[in-house]
Structure 1
Amino acid sequence: MGASGMSISSSIGLVSGIDSGAIIQQLLSLDAQAKTPIFQRIGGLNASNAALLDVNARLLAFKSASSMFRTDDIFRSTNATSSDEGVLFANAGSSAIPGQYAFRVKQLVSTSQVMSGGFTSSTLEPLGLDSMSFEWGNGRLGRDVLLEDLNGGSGVERGSIRVEDRSGNAAIVDLSLASSITEVVDAINDETGISVSASLSGDRIVIQDGSGGNGNLSIQDVGGTTTASDLGIVANVASDAVIGDVINRLDELSLLSTLNDDNGVLIRDNVVDFRIRVGGDGGVIHAIDLGRQDASIDGETLLSDLNDGEGIRINETTGQADFSIVTTDGTQVDITLGQILDEDGEVESEAVTNVQELLSRVNATLEEEIGAGQVVMSIDADGEGFSLVDAVGGGGDLEVIGAGPFENETAEDLGIFTGTGGGSGNTIAGDRLPNTVEIASASTIQDVIDRINEQTNGAVTASVGPDGVGIRLTAAGELVSVLGDGIGGDYGTTTLEDLGFQIGVESTSLDGARVLGGMGTVLVDSVNGGAGIGDASSITITDRNGEAVTVDNLDVHSTMEELVTFLNDAVALVGVDVQVGMNAEGNGLAVSDSTGGSQNLVVSGEAAAALGIEIDVASDTARGLNIQRQYVSAASDLSTLNYGRGVGLGKFRITDGNGISAVVDIGNDSNNLYQVMNEINSRGLDVEARLNDDGDGMILVDTTGGAAAAIKVESISGSTARDLGILGEAESVGGSIDGSYERNVDLDVTDTLDEVIGKINDAGLAVTASLLNTNTGGSPLRLVLSSDISGLAGDLIVDTGGVDLGFNELTAARNAKVFIGEGAGGVLVESTSNVIDDIVAGVEIELQSASDSPVTVNVSRDETGIVDSVQAFVDGFNGVIEAINLYDSYDGESEIRGPLLGDPTVAKVKQDLYRILQQRAVGVDTQFRFLAEVGVKIAGEGQIEFDKARFEEAYAEDPEAVENLFAAYESTGTSTETIAPGVTVDNITTTYEELGFGDLFKQAIEKLTNSIDGTVTLASRNFDALIDAQNDRIAEIDQRLAAKELRLFREFTAMETTLARLQSQQSSLGMISQNLANAGALIG
């Protein structure tokens, strides 16, 4: 050991002086020369394999270029160009139809913003608010009506009208871009050349002359359109007013979804919606079902068609059960609906796909396990689901429980799940399973008329009532009444009420209440969450001079505008100087006194309370309460909820006050809110789902009557619970979870402007609060509230609970509006976004600015893209051939061999590609059948060339034939074969009746490159095997060399040991000799 602590070793013998290490290495290096040719062989094999993998990669690239002709619809790809990109951009997809389309952009989308009055400080001045509520898109008592919905759905032709006042001033009012009745009124009122005013009264337009002249007031159609006629205001009268015709009325084609202020009509499937009695007491009662009617389930019914197309979940894990049947004697039989393998691992039975296969599989399994006829599954008598009957005779209940990866879900999908302890006797009557729709649910007034006529065998005739706002029932002079008794389920009388009828009313001509919303107003029945004002008929108003009036019969009026007009007329008639109108927020009423008196302004009575204006104030004005216009109903389509953003599909878990929970799965079979509530209420929890009292959402009510914990809702998947507004936990034990779309922010009366802004933004609502500093005046600070939802769906209503912050509209919520087509026949499209998909099939329009001038969008086939794709196809083919030619080559001068010279695999690749290249397309009978006919042909060095000019000529001549040549594809699939009487097996074969060159090459390349048994794959594996074998030989040689090295080392070590021993012996002999000599000297 040296001073450094490092050991020094040497292969030079200490005794012999021989460098044994060098000798051993020389000997080993001679033996290692045997590896040199093996390494050379490995290098050659690696080069060959790398070359083959390069060919494989090029084949895959060529496959991609080939398959795109069909999979990417190359020949259907289109370009869209806009004549004015300053107004709109256009993008076209493969489904777009070439042609020219005209658009007129009336307006872009805008987002609702409101701004408060001024404040001097944002940190020192309390606002006095204890809460602030927000609503989006709904809740106002005013209601606009689209022109296309007027005149019973016949609409109003767009054009211009000529108006001449009584002083002879005339103007042409352009209504060609008007889309709603409010826009018509505004356009007339904004015309400065004439002295007239337009307003809405009931279901009419009223034109009032203000010129003071004595001529005629004239309104006429112009320009060949019928706009004025359709608006009901054509006139030429010596009068100061034109009272227009009724233009807001029902028609047989009126949509049920537009009735009741767009709250629609609840229609339930496969239940009685209501009953009609003809003939008074003891008369004939007819059950009326307005719901959808499904095809009956039979043996040929596909499982994928059940449950509204969601099908039956079957696990893909071979051999695992999908559900289990527990017989009345407790025997459990596992049922597998998926693929079944035999003992050798071969497929014995494929997964069941239709009802007959399902029943055969279930009953065969039951027979095998417990004997024939002991438990049988069948289609129920109504053809609406499945039933099971147990003949075992045990003392328990027949049950179906979950099994396998999907647990309960397969049995639930089949409608037969009971769960452990959930059976009832020896029979399971399964739930109804929605099948394919034969007759859709009623959606129009005409559908209701037809269903009533059919289901009463013509005894009852339904029609639009003579007033045009309701429905009439008659029965050839017999008494007619509508009944709700005997109807099962929640909301059993809702449908008849939604159609305007009441139980207990009987007449030979039964007229339902008004169900058509008014122009600019809502129905009285829509306020107070849909409860209306009931029988609250009386109101007393006392002005500030002490004059009082009591007005009765307010409950007979149908619309809020009609009620308020009647009230104001009655008050004015007796000289009480008080007016009732709409409050600033638009969600309630307001009362104003113009007497100048000093006493209190007082409004009282049952109707005052129902209308939110029960007041007693020392003020000239008083703001009424939010009277909660209903805009969510049981019939509300889920796509319209959540501020127009819809309710997503998904699952959530509800836990009731007793801690019991259940999962609710909202899928494609739930279309309206009633169906969601029905799903929740079917779970057996102490929780009731119903509409809330304000008519603006769903509420979950704790019904335990002594809960131990607060109810809660947790999301499992999707956004369903959040979209319904029910995600979370009740605020207290026994409390409810209210999914109201009106949201409240709790505030303190001492909160300053900054604090209010912070609390609003922290609440996570679809509104943003900000501070605006105008830097003008003594109160420059403003509170700005901006809706986070664009368009009319985000129309922001801010209610400060009577504290006047001086809010004014900064930006009105508007939908983007664009007309398709020119002139009066243009079709209006509205959107909450400036990007509108499929406004024309396959075309996306991006609006940039409004314009009175039409913009033309030209959609044409993307011929440049088609040519580029064919060029990519040619390049892909040539890339493969180029690689093969490079690797399968020999240079005579340099005598260099390619790594794949003579390789049979690349020879087959080349042969297959050339064979397809020169054949004809399969089954294509259009003009072009060979690639050479469209300019794709063999050139030098075995590659192909693309004659673009010839291709473009062929495409111009017959584009369909060129498309078929590359992209044709038609196949037939699985068939069955009878192998024994009553025994059939699937014969899984695919026959191609038509196949273009894109798929011809794609399929050939798939056979060559398939990762399991492709020709190139197998050849590459062979190279790998050969390389592994050579590496094994190298390893064997290395093992022999290592053994030899060890042996030689040991031999040299032994030699050194021997020499050392001999040297030691010689030293000993020398010492003996010296000792003898010394001894001799002493003796001598």
Structure 2
Amino acid sequence: MDIDSMVKSMMTAKKAPLDKMNQQKQLLNWTRESYREVSSKLYDFRYNKLITKYGSNDVLTVSKAVVSGNTDAIKATAGSKANGIDMEVSVSQLATKTTVTTAGAGSGKPSTSTLASLQSAFDSSDPTSDAAKAKEFKLVVNSQTFTFKGSTDIQTVISTINDNSLANVTVTFDETTGKLAIASKTSGTDGKVELGSGTDDNTLLSLFNKKNQTEDEWTTKTGVNSIATINGVEYNNSGNTFTVNGVTITLLTKTNTSGTDVPSKITTQTDTTAAVDIVKSFVSDYNTLIAALNSKIDEEKYRDYAPLTDDQKAEMKEADITTWTLKAQSGLLKNDDIIKSVLSEMRAHITEQLGGLAEMGISTGTYAENGKLVLDENKLKTAMEANPQKLMNILQGPASAPATGIFDKMASSVFNAIEKISNRAGTNRYSADLTSTFKEESVMGKKLKEYNSRISTMLTYLDNQETRLYKQFTAMETAMNKLQSQSSSLFSTSS
């Protein structure tokens, strides 16, 4: 008897339910992956486009600040609230930060040097000894106390102090001079670098002195505010960047460096180029997204192409397997309710403002184009030159009600879709990563758990069935062999 062939033949029929479950599980996994792809596109459109790229107040501004006269002294950028007033700017003082600088530990001191090695320059101690490594050095700045052992290197000292937000200072080290500098993070007269007054409060700074370790071997420069005169009015600021008449001005240098004041002049011009480019980019991003979503819900579904079993794959060529699998994966999200809903909502946000958008050169395509936006650049440019605020109000919403703008409305609808997909498929609602793991407590995650449990039970059942069949056929073969032996013996005796 060919027991293996007989058992295999009988088990094939018994394995049919298992194959069916594995196919259903595979379809569920493929569907989750399709949802993750959709969620990734939605996340990218919402966070990277609607919020980050198009959500800024100034992205649709049509004002451009032009600096003439002393073009080296200032930089100017017009914002959305630029009022077009010309300005003459004279800069008499730049804002600086309060800074404490040591005399220097000498050249040739890399930032990897330890504090013990700096100490050895004063007392000729062995920097590798346990005592030198254990010796402590202290710094008190802005009421924050730092203590370091001799084994600590300079770069660690710097990062430790800089990472302390309460100290509010930035420490730098010049390897060419060995000077350590401590600067306030806040510029102007508000910035401070207040050292401790105790006897041992500044032993760390003493290491970075050339001559000796007395506490007066460092210099302090107090920060000052910037002073600029704009159209005859003096402006005193803690920083070098501030906004006047809707224009952000950055002071770069004094205007009277040669002894004679050479002021800078700022004029505001209308320039629709950047705003038009932003609208073009939005239209392109929107059209790309809805095309991708429409392709999912319109994709043909081949119901006769189920996922292949291992046995089926074993009898097929690799190219045929690929072709079959592509058809089996097609149409998994056909007519999906979540995708159809978000598409409908986004189109509604456009339709609500279609009259105003049409006046600005933005319209929808034909019915067959499924809500695609069409842009007339010349019409948009002309409309923005005439009334730039109108498009800003439509897309971003007025300053008093930004949530009424198309961008905010779309962002809300897209987020709702991302959440629904996450609840159903277990996708990460805060990432566009296509390799992110799925949440098990989603609808599909629970369904997969159920499949895994049923498959495990079925495998145990089939294993028991196979064992039983082998035992039965083996016993049958043994009995038949015994009967054959008895028959042979009987015939032999008769003859």
- TM-score clears 0.5: yes
Q: Deviations over 1:404-444 (max 9, x none)?
A: xxxxxxxxxxxxxxxxxxxxxxxxxxxxxxxxxxxxxxxxx
Match status 1:1044 vs 2:465: yes
Q: Deviations over 1:323-348 (max 9, x none)?
A: xxxxxxxxxxxxxxxxxxxxxxxxxx
Please report how far the alpha carbon of residue 912 of structure 1 lies from its aligned counterpart in structure 2 after TM superposition. Answer: 1.7
Partner of 1:947: 376
Match status 1:820 vs 2:229: yes
Partner of 2:431: none
Q: Deviations over 1:330-377 (max 9, x none)?
A: xxxxxxxxxxxxxxxxxxxxxxxxxxxxxxxxxxxxxxxxxxxxxxxx
Q: What secondary structure, in the 3-state scheme, does the structure 1 residue paired with 2:407 have?
A: helix
Partner of 1:60: 43
Q: What secondary structure, in the 3-state scheme, does the structure 2 residue paired with 1:930 have?
A: helix
Please report how far the alpha carbon of residue 89 of structure 1 lies from its aligned counterpart in structure 2 after TM superposition. Answer: 4.9
Match status 1:967 vs 2:373: no
- Structure 1 residues 88 and 1043: CA distance shift in structure 2, 3 A: farther
Please report how far the alpha carbon of residue 1032 of structure 1 lies from its aligned counterpart in structure 2 after TM superposition. Answer: 4.6
Q: Where does 1:506-517 land on structure 2 (aligned, <5 Å)?
A: none
Q: What secondary structure, in the 3-state scheme, does the structure 2 residue paired with 1:842 have?
A: strand
Please report how far the alpha carbon of residue 55 of structure 1 lies from its aligned counterpart in structure 2 after TM superposition. Answer: 2.8
Residue of structure 2 aligned with 1:847, choices 234, 253, 263: 253
CA distance in 2, matches of 1:756, 1:963: 59
- Structure 1 residues 766 and 1052: CA distance shift in structure 2, 3 A: farther
Please report how far the alpha carbon of residue 33 of structure 1 lies from its aligned counterpart in structure 2 after TM superposition. Answer: 3.8
CA distance in 2, matches of 1:964, 1:29: 67
Please report how far the alpha carbon of residue 1047 of structure 1 lies from its aligned counterpart in structure 2 after TM superposition. Answer: 2.2
Match status 1:718 vs 2:151: no
CA distance in 2, matches of 1:890, 1:861: 46
Partner of 1:932: 358
Partner of 2:282: 873
Q: Deviations over 1:121-143 (max 9, x none)?
A: xxxxxxxxxxxxxxxxxxxxxxx
Please report how far the alpha carbon of residue 730 of structure 1 lies from its aligned counterpart in structure 2 after TM superposition. Answer: 5.8
8 A Cα contact 2:74 2:252, kept in partner: yes
Please report how far the alpha carbon of residue 870 of structure 1 lies from its aligned counterpart in structure 2 after TM superposition. Answer: 2.5
For residue 901 of structure 1, what is the amino acid of its counterpart? K
Match status 1:908 vs 2:341: yes
Partner of 2:125: none
Calculate the TM-score normalised by the size of structure 2.
0.56
- The structure whose residues are more often strand, as a share, is 1
Q: CA RMSD in A?
A: 5.3
Q: Where does 1:246-395 land on structure 2 (aligned, <5 Å)?
A: none
CA distance in 2, matches of 1:993, 1:113: 46
Partner of 2:413: 1004
8 A Cα contact 1:888 1:901, kept in partner: yes
Q: What secondary structure, in the 3-state scheme, does the structure 1 residue paired with 2:409 have?
A: helix
Partner of 1:83: 68
CA distance in 1, matches of 2:477, 2:31: 51
- Structure 1 residues 70 and 903: CA distance shift in structure 2, 3 A: closer
- Structure 1 residues 37 and 77: CA distance shift in structure 2, 3 A: farther
Q: Where does 1:465-504 land on structure 2 (aligned, <5 Å)?
A: none
Q: Where does 1:537-552 land on structure 2 (aligned, <5 Å)?
A: none
CA distance in 2, matches of 1:1033, 1:745: 73
Residue of structure 2 aligned with 1:51, choices 20, 34, 38: 34
Q: Where does 1:401-550 land on structure 2 (aligned, <5 Å)?
A: none
- Structure 1 residues 880 and 1034: CA distance shift in structure 2, 3 A: farther
CA distance in 2, matches of 1:838, 1:1053: 93
Q: Deviations over 1:543-564 (max 9, x none)?
A: xxxxxxxxxxxxxxxxxxxxxx
- Structure 1 residues 914 and 1056: CA distance shift in structure 2, 3 A: same
Please report how far the alpha carbon of residue 919 of structure 1 lies from its aligned counterpart in structure 2 after TM superposition. Answer: 1.2
Q: Deviations over 1:771-830 (max 9, x none)?
A: xxxxxxxxxxxxxxxx6x4xxx27xxxxxxxxxxxxxxxxxxxx79764346xx363758
Q: Deviations over 1:584-637 (max 9, x none)?
A: xxxxxxxxxxxxxxxxxxxxxxxxxxxxxxxxxxxxxxxxxxxxxxxxxxxxxx
Looking at both structures, which has the greater relative contact order when contacts are Cα pairs under 8 Å and sequence separation is at least 6? Answer: 2
Please report how far the alpha carbon of residue 877 of structure 1 lies from its aligned counterpart in structure 2 after TM superposition. Answer: 2.5
Partner of 1:807: none
Q: Deviations over 1:988-1039 (max 9, x none)?
A: xxxx7971212222222233223xxx3x444435454555555454444323
Give ranges in structure 2 of 5+ residues lacking alignment: 104-140, 146-163, 170-191, 305-326, 426-441
Residue of structure 1 aligned with 2:386, choices 957, 971, 982: 957
- Structure 1 residues 764 and 948: CA distance shift in structure 2, 3 A: farther
Partner of 1:101: 87
Partner of 1:283: none
- Structure 1 residues 71 and 720: CA distance shift in structure 2, 3 A: closer
Please report how far the alpha carbon of residue 865 of structure 1 lies from its aligned counterpart in structure 2 after TM superposition. Answer: 3.7
Match status 1:28 vs 2:11: yes
- Structure 1 residues 846 and 1045: CA distance shift in structure 2, 3 A: farther
8 A Cα contact 2:65 2:269, kept in partner: yes
Please report how far the alpha carbon of residue 723 of structure 1 lies from its aligned counterpart in structure 2 after TM superposition. Answer: 4.6
8 A Cα contact 2:95 2:225, kept in partner: yes
Calculate the TM-score normalised by the size of structure 1.
0.28
Q: What secondary structure, in the 3-state scheme, does the structure 2 residue paired with 1:838 have?
A: strand
Match status 1:74 vs 2:59: yes
8 A Cα contact 1:916 1:1001, kept in partner: yes
Please report how far the alpha carbon of residue 56 of structure 1 lies from its aligned counterpart in structure 2 after TM superposition. Answer: 2.8
CA distance in 1, matches of 2:212, 2:477: 94
For residue 873 of structure 1, what is the amino acid of its counterpart? F
- The structure whose residues are more often helix, as a share, is 2
What percent of counterpart residues are identical?
A: 18
- Structure 1 residues 103 and 43: CA distance shift in structure 2, 3 A: same
Q: Where does 1:756-775 land on structure 2 (aligned, <5 Å)?
A: 757=210, 759=212, 767=219
Please report how far the alpha carbon of residue 963 of structure 1 lies from its aligned counterpart in structure 2 after TM superposition. Answer: 1.6
